[in-house]
């Protein structure tokens, strides 16, 4: 089996160089994720209708992930849940990136601003992440909005740290000094010398933030916060499956969780390979 896969791999990518292979991998993973999101948008209510004739069925060809206690197809529920999770993750990472852009740039204004930003980062990292999300989501009155805001507001510290360090390092570069001596304005230096270096960091940071945001969103819904029990979120599917564990309905927990794992892995792979493409020093690793 594994040798067969290997030969297929060789046959497919034998003629390609590392760069092309990386691009191929990224496109494949992106396509997978995109398909999940698009499918989840087009799933209509009918395919999720309850059918008590076929409840608690083990996985089969007709229902690849089995069915739940109301006879709903778990495969369709999982896809829909993943779509929801990816969209919440996308929103949260975008907001968090925006915050870290603002704070990162703000930290370069002066010494006081810089210590303020690093203090804020330390403050957010000093409370366990999950507890912080719970606290913020309660502050916003719980519910779906509470969870989304909680996830969105807590993922920026690590990227802010990276951005802050990067700006600090760039400012000591010789070409920046020379530019300043030539009388270029601060704005000119910021946009022409510093921003171009930061943009790839932001893109990469957003993508690498995705898996964290999705995992936290799933965890927090699993714990029972936020989304209503009728929403087919992955966390809710899994917390529902807990009731049926002792009955031996393993597929209710196994497949949705595995799909979530694959989605997370896909994001990690996209981020990592994109990082390789963008960073010429690491291209040969």
Partner 1 sequence: MKQRKLGYFIGKKILKLLCLLIVVCIASFWIVEQSPIDPVRAYIGEMSIQPEQKAKLEEYWGVNTPSHEKFMNWAGNILKGDFGISLIYRMPVTDVMKERFTASIILMASSWLMSGILGFILGIIAGMKNGTLVDKVIKTYCYILIAAPTFWLALIMLLVFSVYLGWFPIGLGIPIGTVADDVTFLDRIHHLILPTITLSLLGVASIAMFTREKLIEVMSSDYILFAKARGERGLGLIMRHGIRNVALPAITLQFLGFSELFGGAVLVEQVFSYPGIGQAAVAAGLRSDVPLLLGIVIVSTIFVFFGNLVADIIYEFIDPRIKQQEMTT
Residues forming the site for partner 1 (CB under 8 A): 122-123, 125-131, 134-142, 211, 215, 218-219, 222-225, 238, 241-242, 245-246, 248, 250, 253-254, 257-258, 260-261, 264-265, 268
- Pick the closest to residue 121 from 94, 103, 137 (CA basis): 103
Q: Tell me the residue length of the chain.
A: 285
What Cα–Cα distance (Å) separates residue 155 from each residue in 90, 93, 217, 270? Answer: 12, 7, 11, 19
Closest approach of partner 1 to the CB of residue 159, in Å:
17
CB 256 within 8 A of CB 238: yes
Q: Nearest distance from residue 254's CB to partner 1, in Å? A: 7
The nearest distance, CB 213 to partner 1, in angstroms, is 13
Max distance between CA atoms of the chain, in angstroms, equals: 79
Q: How far is the CB of 199 from partner 1 (least distance, A)?
A: 26
Question: What are phi and psi for residue 109, nearest 5 degrees?
Answer: -70, -50
Q: Going by C-beta distance under 8 Å and a sequence separation of 6 or more, which residues neighbour residue 193?
A: 170, 173, 175, 176, 179
Q: Which is nearer to partner 1, 167 or 211 (CB)?
A: 211
Shortest Å distance, C-beta 179 to partner 1 = 34
Least Å distance, CB 60 to partner 1, is 20
Q: How far apart are CA 172 and CA 196, in angstroms?
A: 16
Are 222 and 235 in contact by the 8 Å Cβ rule? The answer is yes
Q: Which is nearer to partner 1, 105 or 263 (CB)?
A: 263
Tell me how far CA of residue 275 lies from CA of 20, 26, 157, 210, 261, in angstroms.
14, 11, 20, 15, 21
**Reduced to 3 states, what is the DSSP secondary structure of residue 189?**
helix
CA distance 93 to 176: 31
For partner 1, the closer of residues 63 and 216 by Cβ is: 216
User: CB of 65 within 8 A of CB of 256?
Assistant: yes
| Nearer CB in complex with partner 1: 132/194 | 132
CB of 264 to partner 1, least distance (A): 4
Tokens matching residue 40: 């989840």
């Amino acid at each position: 089996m594994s040798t067969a896969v290997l030969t297929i791999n060789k046959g497919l990518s034998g003629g390609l160089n590392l760069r092309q292979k990386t691009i191929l991998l990224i496109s494949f993973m992106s396509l997978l994720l995109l398909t999940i999101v698009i499918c989840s948008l087009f799933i209509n209510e009918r395919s999720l209708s309850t059918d008590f004739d076929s409840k608690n069925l083990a996985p089969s060809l007709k229902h690849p992930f089995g069915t739940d206690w109301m006879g709903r197809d778990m495969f369709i529920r999982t896809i829909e849940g993943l779509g929801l999770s990816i969209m919440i993750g996308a929103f949260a990472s975008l907001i968090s990136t925006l915050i870290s852009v603002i704070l990162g740039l703000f930290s370069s204004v002066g010494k006081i601003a810089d210590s303020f930003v690093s203090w804020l980062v330390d403050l957010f990292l000093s409370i366990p992440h999950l507890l912080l999300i719970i606290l913020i989501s309660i502050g916003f009155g719980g519910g779906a909005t509470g969870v989304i805001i909680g996830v969105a507001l807590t993922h920026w510290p690590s990227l802010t740290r990276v951005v802050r360090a990067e700006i600090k390092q760039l400012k000591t570069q010789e070409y920046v000094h020379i530019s300043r001596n030539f009388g270029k304005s601060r704005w000119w230096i910021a946009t022409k010398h510093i921003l171009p270096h930061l943009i790839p960091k932001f893109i990469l940071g957003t993508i690498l933030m995705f898996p964290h945001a999705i995992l936290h969103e799933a965890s927090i819904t699993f714990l029972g916060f936020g989304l209503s029990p009728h929403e087919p979120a992955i966390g809710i599917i899994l917390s529902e499956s807990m009731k049926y564990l002792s009955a031996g309905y393993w597929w209710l927990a196994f497949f949705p969780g595995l799909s979530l794992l694959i989605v997370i892995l896909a994001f990690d792979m996209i981020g990592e390979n994109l990082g390789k493409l963008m960073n010429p020093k690491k291209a040969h690793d």
